[in-house]
């Protein structure tokens, strides 16, 4: 029977992925062999258009055909957010309406696992990965893709839950976010993804401390499985956040084509948060490895204590076995060389007393040597 922690660890990397169809042309929105369009639930689309004064239009559950690109000289910021995996048809309509590059759309469909950034003529394509906890208390990675243009931003989240509701509330409250362009909105969304790692690491730190106490008290098998599960989570986090730090650094080096000077300044703060998260990950990785060493040492110490107890018991019984074996021999009672205790009425008590004295003497000796 599998332990609970081992089952959670097996689920850690279970994630639906789509492979490229061999031989397909670059930028093709074709699914892998054996996969049908009906296997994908259409993504839910929401629209939020705002200006300095606040929201202008907010709509949810729109049809993909209702998406209209903003005018080139429009002062309003248009934010389109798709929740769920979009179908090839949805991506095709979206790409045709906004002039998105086919290679970027292909990466959205086939779920690239690594964070990336690519600049095209009229927009910038960014892939980030969001690490979050499910209802089953398991970590999963969801890809979030961004198409950032002059006065619009398109975000596509594989997770059907609304990850950016906090940003939407800031826009409704006419915060500082409304006074900036679409590049600042991009920063706000990336900042949400990065900062979501702090609660996960805080929980993981508490989990590692609890594991340390558990190992010192009772190094059982479940504690060992929990250590390996924590290590796998840290590997997952490190593999996700390391490349995203480089993406933010590349955004900071933008020449002003897609990001304003103000947004680049705030992006520096996002980069600092990413560095702090990676430092936490590295620290907790060292803690996890040291916990494994502590577990092995505790198990070894426990085994040594057991062997010590067995050795002391065997050592105590060794002279007793000699005495009982000696008096258990069949002697000729009529011989003058026979043991006198065999004819003595208190011989049995005499031998038992000798055995008790031997045991007490050995225990005193072991105590003096600090073997007990």
Strand partners, 141: 131
CATH topology of domain 311-368: Methane Monooxygenase Hydroxylase; Chain G, domain 1 (1.20.58)
- Residue 159, classed as helix, strand or coil, is coil
Q: Is residue 34 over pLDDT 70?
A: no
Residue 48 — very low, low, confident or very high, per pLDDT cuts 50/70/90? very high
* The predicted structure's pLDDT at residue 20: 54
Residue 186 — very low, low, confident or very high, per pLDDT cuts 50/70/90? very high
Task: Quote the CA–CA distance of 84 and 159 in Å, as a whole number.
Answer: 5
Comparing CA positions, the residue from 267, 212, 271, 265 lying closest to residue 241 is 271
**Domain range summary for the chain, segments of one domain joined by +:** 4-297, 311-368
Radius of gyration of the chain (CA): 35
Residue 1 — very low, low, confident or very high, per pLDDT cuts 50/70/90? very low
Residue 23 — very low, low, confident or very high, per pLDDT cuts 50/70/90? low
Task: Tell me if 107 sits within 8 A of 145, measured CB to CB.
Answer: yes
Q: What is the mean pLDDT of residues 96-109?
A: 88
What is the side-by-side strand order in the sheet with 44-51? 54-62, 44-51, 77-83, 152-157, 139-148, 124-133, 116-119
Pairing of strands 116-119, 77-83: unpaired
% pLDDT > 70, the chain = 84
* The predicted structure's pLDDT at residue 40: 57
Task: Tell me if 353 sits within 8 A of 360, measured CB to CB.
Answer: no
Place domain 4-297 in its CATH homologous superfamily: CorA soluble domain-like (3.30.460.20)
Q: Is residue 363 over pLDDT 90?
A: no
* The predicted structure's pLDDT at residue 352: 84
Backbone angles phi, psi at 57, to 5 degrees: -150, 135
Our CA angle for 114, 119, 122, nearest 5°, is 135
* The predicted structure's pLDDT at residue 106: 87
pTM above 0.85, yes or no: no
Q: Rounded mean pLDDT of the chain?
A: 83
């Amino acid at each position: 029977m599998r332990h609970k922690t081992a089952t959670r660890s097996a689920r850690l990397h279970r994630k639906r992925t789509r492979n490229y169809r061999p031989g397909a042309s670059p930028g093709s929105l074709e699914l892998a062999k054996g996969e049908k369009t009906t296997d994908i639930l259409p993504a839910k689309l929401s629209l939020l258009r705002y200006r300095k004064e606040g929201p202008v239009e907010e709509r949810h559950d729109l049809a993909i055909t209702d998406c209209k690109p903003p005018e080139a000289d429009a002062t309003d910021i248009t934010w389109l957010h798709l929740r769920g995996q979009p179908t090839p048809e949805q991506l095709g309509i979206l790409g045709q309406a906004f002039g998105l590059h086919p290679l970027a759309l292909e990466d959205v469909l086939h779920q690239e696992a690594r964070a990336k950034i690519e600049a095209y003529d009229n927009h910038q394509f960014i892939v980030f990965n969001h690490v979050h906890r499910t209802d089953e208390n398991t970590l999963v990675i969801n890809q979030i893709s961004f198409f950032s243009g002059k006065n619009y931003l398109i975000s596509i989240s594989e997770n059907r839950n609304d990850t950016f509701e906090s940003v939407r509330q800031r826009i409704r409250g006419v915060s500082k976010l409304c006074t900036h362009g679409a590049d600042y909105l991009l920063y706000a969304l990336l900042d949400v993804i990065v900062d979501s790692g702090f609660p996960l690491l805080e929980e993981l730190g508490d989990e590692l401390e609890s594991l340390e106490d558990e190992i010192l008290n009772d190094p059982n098998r479940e504690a060992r499985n929990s250590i390996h599960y924590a290590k796998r989570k840290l590997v997952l986090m490190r593999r996700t956040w390391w490349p995203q730090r480089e993406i933010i650094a590349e955004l900071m080096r933008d020449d002003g084509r897609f990001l304003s000077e103000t947004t680049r300044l705030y992006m520096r703060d996002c980069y600092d948060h990413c560095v702090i998260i990676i430092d936490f990950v590295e620290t907790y990785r060292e803690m996890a490895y040291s916990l494994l060493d502590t577990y092995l040492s505790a198990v070894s110490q426990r085994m040594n204590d057991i062997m010590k107890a067995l050795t002391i018991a065997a050592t105590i019984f060794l002279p007793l076995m000699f005495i009982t074996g000696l008096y258990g021999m069949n002697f000729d009672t009529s011989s003058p060389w026979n043991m006198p205790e065999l004819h003595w009425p208190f011989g049995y008590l005499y031998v038992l007393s000798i055995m008790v004295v031997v045991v007490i003497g050995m225990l005193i000796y072991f105590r003096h040597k600090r073997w007990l």
